[in-house]
A = this chain, B = another copy of it.
Amino acid sequence: MPEQAVSRLERRKAGTRSALIRAAQTLIAAGRTNAPILEITQAADVGMGSFYNHFENREQLHRAALDAALEAQGALLDELTAGLEDPAHVFAQSFRLTGRLHRRQPALSKVLLHYGFALTTSDDGLAPRARRDIEAAVRDGRFTVRDPELALVTVAGAALSLGWLLHDQPERDDAATTDLVTEDVLRMLGLGAAEAHEICTRPLPDLDTTVGRLGAV
């Protein structure tokens, strides 16, 4: 095949894979983790046969859908904290942005909440990034943490229950609620109350201009 035709074929294959992943994310978010493969391919608007060109079974697709959600959110957070010097600020900003993403990206948020605690010891996505930030802040003497793995578990528990609350109580202000929880978490990590509060009042990068990309997994 000429090179152009190959690349067209590759693009089409990648497009099919993305459509399947998006369909899986939508179904997981709706709690429909048992949806048959025929329904997934119909939701993705691709032929039933193409499913097996990309995935061996539904479980493998679910794993890919979760990885894509984690990577998309993790990469966004890395980008939106790239210019910050203080690792405590990096951690706080990521936590504050993550809280604000639950309602802006409800499907991705619900995929994460569906997997829940299993993510806290995962090697991909948000947990290793949070751990990296916590350990950097400990090295710089900003956080006081005796066991970073345990601190991560508590932080993840707070992050997950925050997401759950924001979906459960749609009348709650997500920004104010998130910032209060972030303050709590920062105190838990060893910051003083006044500094924890101050860090959570700092301006945040504009999510509206960047979050669009999260949809395009």
Which A residues form the contact surface with B (CB < 8 A)?
A: 113, 116-118, 120-121, 144, 146-147, 150-151, 153-154, 156-162, 164-165, 168-169, 177, 180-181, 184-185, 187-188, 190, 193
Contact = CB atoms under 8 A, between A and B. Distances in A.
A180 B144 contact: no
Contacts of A118: 164
B158 A158 contact: yes
Nearest to A113: B117
A20 B117 CA distance: 29
Contact of A154 (B144, B169, B181): B181
Contact of A117 (B160, B177, B181, B184): B160
The 7 closest A-B pairs by CB, nearest first: A157-B161, A157-B157, A188-B188, A117-B164, A154-B158, A157-B158, A153-B161
Contacts of A121: 165, 168-169
B190 A187 contact: yes
Nearest to A188: B188
Nearest to A149: B165
Given A168-B121, A180-B146, A193-B144, A154 B185 contact: yes
B164 A150 contact: no
A21 to B, nearest CB: 25
